[in-house]
């Protein structure tokens, strides 16, 4: 993926609309990575630098280039209000009228919702994992019981009968 990413970054270098970059999350880029929820490597993000989203597409040059061409463009934001529809302009105006403190509190409240969703998801996945483990253990025990009941021997006798052409041993 690195070679494809570097090729794409070179193509977008100096572009007024968007850019393709990489950040070393183990060094000076760690605070940026932490702020954007980067937990694994490589993680691909896109969008407004203050509100990056996860990229879920292909990781070879063709799908990356297609995504960049279709998505790296000037977007509605407070700095590019002319690109916004009326609903977004109204929302930006509403948020702009809030005090910095109120806006910070609103952001924190929404981030708590995200954290809650993640916590709930992880708890439910743990329950599923426990159920899966239990079902797997039961299946293995059932299979073992069938084998111990003589399934292998039954098949062996059946094969011998078929080979010898007799119904008797």
Write down the pLDDT at residue 168. Answer: 63
For the stretch 108-146, pLDDT in tens is 999 999 899 989 999 999 999 999 999 999 999 999 999
Write down the pLDDT at residue 16. Answer: 67
pTM over 0.85: no
The full 3-state SS of the chain, as one line of letters, equals CHHHHHHHHHHHCCCCCCCCCCCCCCCCCHHHHHHCCCCCCCCCEECCCCCCEECCCCCCHHHHHHHHHHHCCCCCCHHHHHHCCHHHHHHHHHHHHCCHHHHHHHHHHHHHHHHHHHHHHHHHHHHHHHHHHHHHHHHHHHHHHHHHCCHHHHHHHHHHHHHHCCCCC
Write down the pLDDT at residue 169. Answer: 57
| Low pLDDT (below 50) residues in the chain | none
């Amino acid at each position: 993926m690195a070679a494809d990413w570097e090729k794409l970054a070179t193509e977008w270098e100096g572009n007024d609309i968007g850019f393709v970059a990489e950040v070393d999350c183990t060094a000076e880029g760690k605070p940026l990575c932490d702020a954007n929820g980067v937990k694994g490597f490589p993680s691909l993000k896109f969008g407004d630098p203050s509100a990056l989203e996860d990229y879920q597409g292909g990781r070879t040059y063709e799908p990356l280039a297609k995504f960049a061409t279709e998505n790296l463009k000037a977007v509605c934001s407070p700095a590019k209000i002319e690109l916004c529809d009326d609903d977004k302009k109204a929302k930006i105006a509403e948020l702009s009228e809030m005090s910095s403190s109120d806006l910070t509190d609103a952001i924190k409240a929404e981030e708590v919702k995200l954290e809650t969703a993640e916590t709930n998801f992880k708890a439910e996945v743990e329950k599923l994992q426990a159920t899966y483990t239990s079902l797997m253990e039961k299946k293995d025990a059932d299979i073992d019981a069938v084998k111990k009941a003589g399934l292998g021997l039954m098949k062996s006798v059946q094969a011998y009968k078929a080979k010898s052409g007799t119904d008797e041993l």
